[in-house]
Structure 1
Amino acid sequence: MPLASAAPVMLTASERHRLKKMAYGHKTPHQARQRATIVLLAARGRPNARIAVQTRLHVDTVRTWRGRFAAGGLPALADRKRSGRPVSFTALQVAEVKALACQLPARTGAPLSRWSCPELAREVVAQSIAGSISSSTVRRWLKQDALRPWQFQSWISVRDPAFRPKAARVLDLYARTFDDVPLGEDEYVISADEKTSIQARCRCHPTLAPGQARAMRVNHEYDRGGAVAYLAAYDVHRARVFGRCEPRTGIRPFMNLVTQVMTTEPYASARCVFWIVDNGSSHRGKKAIDRLTRAFPNTVMVHTPVHASWTNQVEIFFSIVQRKVVSPNDFTDLSEVRDRLRAFEDRYNATAQPFQWRFTTSDLDDLLTRLDRHTLDRQEESSARLTA
């Protein structure tokens, strides 16, 4: 029988350009590169046997892709749709697994603090949601909705009955307003607090500097060299820090910090200096307000709400100190701790810019609304569970 002749291939200029990009492109998939090469060689009039030798493919493969291009053009070089593997799990099963991941393990009786993908897969089988399932399948389903039940965050509920007015007062001061009156040029806002127990840990072996493909190495064992308290006052709008080290915290160390700030200009002659503090024992309640006013009549103490130190901007500065000065802790003695903290203050004050505080009273109202809604949902859930 006579052999069937090879399908003729004629290319337009645009088809030739696209095929060359496919055949010689560095990011082209290997199969697409092979198919484009077959068509380009066929367009030069070469027989299938010779193309098979040049491309190191079977002649039937060459014949297939040559014929498909001749019949359908460039779209015919793509893979045809396949039926694929039959679905192993229904949409209901997927939803039930995600719902299980959104429950606390204690609700199901599992002796776990939080879910992992292998534990979820085991629980799915135990509850007969599916006959068998792998942890990788569970992980893929959870990833679709960004569910990570193995992670957790700590949080604290609002306990101060005057949370809103106290927090709003602090936030208004950050926006240079007090009792709906803009602050003047001779009025300042100071954020103050204490960072307790900065230890001097003398490592038993010297710290090794970082090297190529090696992080800094700090010996795990250390000798205790005592601890010191670091008190800081941060001018919110001028980005200036005043700090001091004391053996411990208390009323007297805090008043020493206040004296250090209020005896320097421009605070000594200022019309008013607002001191934002939390509810620590060194400056708590009405007695602390009266104590500060007696010592410096041009001061006003403003307390943050209970358990809301995050509204105090000096905590941001303390986090910077922790990252850049204290960690990893490797000091020979307390004098080195004090010297480094003083040197860092000078370094920070030379280039510091005010923090870009964006949390306003409007954001505060939105936060309280979400918390109220969350509390109401939990109460309704508890009531439904009790009546069930």
Structure 2
Amino acid sequence: MRVAPKVELTAEERSTLSGWANGRKTPVRMAERARILLLAAAGTQDTEISTRLSITSKKVARWRKRFLDKGLAGLEKDAPRPGRTPSIRRDAVAEIVRLTTQEKPPNATHWSTRSMAAAVGVSDSSILRIWHAHGLKPHRVESFKLSNDPLFGEKLEAIVGLYLNPPEQAIVLCVDEKSQVQALDRSQPGLPLKPGRAGTMTHDYKRHGTTTLFAALNAASGKVISLCPQRHRHQEWMKFLRLIDDATPEGKQLHLIVDNYAAHKHPKVERWLKRHPRFHVHYTPTSSSWLNMVERFFRDLTENRLRRGIFRSVLELIEALDEYVDRHNEKPKPFIWTAKSNDILAKVMRAKAVSLKGQSA
């Protein structure tokens, strides 16, 4: 009868294997391998170990040999397996990826799994797996807008600098207005949410008027100063600036990040700013509202309160907006800006280069 190779354990190896064999959180496979080696070290032969543990003797011999060759490290990881031979050749996969990224079907703007499957002669489920493996989603498209502002880099550095390194004894405020906020009421009452069924809401609605929300987000604390006038002309903008002046400590310099809306640059506004020298206005580059962090607050407001809200009057809408801001200010949480201006500028330059290349082609 063939005798299995002898297994000898050091005190440290025996302690480790005992811990694996008896540990409550040890994976079943590891516990089984540890018991095999402990029995083997006690002089038990493979056939007897297989009987005790209700496994095959081939498995016992395999893990005995693995331990003798690689020690404890050989037990912690399974050997790589060849796997099934791919049903689609690599060159065929490469051709599918090329067609997806560089060509279009003759009668559509983008490929579907079925149209690609018909073009290359494989199943649509195979196309789906290949697209998933290569991160391809032809049905999706993301929008973008590149700024043509000649002072883009200068304005970008100034605003990002205020976020990352705000000046001492100063307050950085991200200011903008959310115009044409509609008081919408649904034409019919929807059904409430219940187990197994989503809430319902009619697609049509009744309009009861609009309002404008002016908001100034404190970049450091996350608190918001707000105002809801009926319109958003330069008169309302100056009224909001006065509110900011009254709501902030007198000894603090105020750095306002605003967009290029005409009301923000009205001559009367500029004269008012000259009379209040603690106000320092930083205009975002054109087509770059994403640089203003108050837009993130507006997005959360839309998602959490407005999109599915029901408002039967403008007054009810204004009350809802004021309540949302008050609740936000009870536990404010600032939005943390992490992107550096150099990284943003490099990304924009790459996008412009690709855009120019596409236009020339």
TM-score (normalised: structure 2):
0.74
Superposed displacement of residue 149, structure 1: 1.4
Q: Does 1:97 align with 2:96?
A: yes
Amino acid in structure 1 at the alignment position of 2:332 = A
Q: 5 Å matches for 1:201-350?
A: 201-266=184-249, 269-284=250-265, 287=267, 290-350=270-330
- Contact 1:278/1:284 (8 A) holds in 2: no
Percent identity between the two aligned chains = 25
Describe the shift of the 1:43–1:313 C-alpha distance in structure 2 as closer, same or farther (beyond 3 A): closer
Distance 1:83 1:345 in 2: 57
One of 151, 160, 170 as aligned partner of 2:140:
151
* Alpha-carbon shift at residue 272 of structure 1 (Å): 2.4
The Cα offsets for residues 249-284 of structure 1, whole Å up to 9 and x where unpaired, read as: 221111111111112341xx2352121111122214
Q: In 2, are the aligned partners of 1:201 and 1:332 still within 8 Å (CA)?
A: yes
Q: Specify the alignment match of 1:165 in structure 2.
A: 154
Deviations 1:17-39 (A, max 9, x none): 9xxx78xx9xxxxxxxxxxxxx9
Equivalence for 1:129 = none
Q: How many residue pairs were aligned?
A: 311
Name the aligned partner's letter for residue 205 of structure 1. Answer: Q
What amino acid does structure 2 have at the position aligned with 1:120? Answer: M
Query: 1:320 corresponds to which letter in structure 2?
Result: D
SS in 1 for 2:174: strand
Question: How far, CA to CA, are the matches of 1:355 and 1:319 in structure 2?
Answer: 12
Please tell me the residue identity of whatever aligns with 1:359.
Answer: A
User: Could you tell me whether the CA contact under 8 Å between 1:292 and 1:299 is conserved in 2?
Assistant: no
1:331: how far off?
0.8
Q: Is the 8 A contact 1:289 1:300 kept in 2?
A: no
Q: Which amino acid aligns with 2:259?
A: D
Distance in 1, matches of 2:117 and 2:174, equals 50
Tell me, which stretches of 5 or more residues in structure 1 are unaligned?
Answer: 1-6, 26-38, 45-65, 125-131, 178-182, 383-388
Give, in angstroms, the shift of residue 98 of structure 1.
0.6
Contact preservation (8 Å) 1:170, 1:304: yes
> Using a 3 Å threshold, how does the CA distance of structure 1 residues 243 and 82 change in structure 2: closer, same or farther?
closer
What secondary structure is seen at the aligned counterpart in 1 of 2:102? coil
Asked if structure 1 preserves the Cα contact closer than 8 Å seen for 2:131 and 2:137, the reply is: yes
CA distance in 1, matches of 2:180, 2:352: 36
Q: Partners in 1 of 2:312 and 2:185 — Cα distance?
A: 5
2:344 corresponds to which residue? 364
Q: Does the CA contact (< 8 Å) of 1:203 and 1:330 recur in 2? A: yes
- Tell me how large the CA RMSD over aligned residues is: 3.5
1:184 partnered with 2:168: yes
For 1:209 and 1:84, the matched residues in 2 are separated by: 49
Letter in 2 for 1:113: T
Shift of 1:337: 0.4
2:161 is the counterpart of 1:175:
no
User: Does the Cα contact within 8 Å between 1:274 and 1:302 map onto a contact in 2?
Assistant: yes
CA contact (8 A) 2:146 2:352 kept: no
Q: 2:190 and 2:115 mapped to 1: Cα distance? A: 41
Distance 1:341 1:280 in 2: 23
* Equivalent residue letter for 2:156: A
Shift of 1:289: 6.2
Amino acid at match of 1:317: F
Q: Is the 8 A contact 1:233 1:257 kept in 2?
A: no
